[in-house]
Amino acid sequence: MINVGNRQLGRVKSKNDFDCEFESLSIQESVKNISILGSYKEENIYEGTNPAAEIMKITKSFIQ
C-alpha cells in the first residue's frame, strides 16, 4: 500500500505500507519499489476489521 502525502502519518501501518511525497516522481518510485517486492505474505492487520461496529460497541457500553 502506498500512502501519498502526509494524510496517514501517525496511523498504524503494516510492513507493506509505504509513504511517499505528493509528487509524480516519488509516487512512481514507490510503485516501482513495491512491484519488485512481489506478493505480501505477512499478516494483514486490516483484514476483518470493522471500525464502525467497534465504535458503536464501545459507545453503547458507556450508555448501558
pLDDT per residue as tens digits for the range 17-55: 889 999 999 999 999 988 888 888 887 777 777 878 888
55 close to 23: Cβ distance less than 8 angstroms: no
Reading the block at residue 18, the C-alpha cell is: 509505504
DSSP 6: S
The helix (H) or strand (E) run that includes residue 3 is strand 2-4
Judged on CB neighbours under 10 Å (0-12, 13-18, 19+), 47 is exposed
Answering whether pTM is above 0.75, one says: no
Residue 14 CA to residue 33 CA, distance in Å, equals: 16
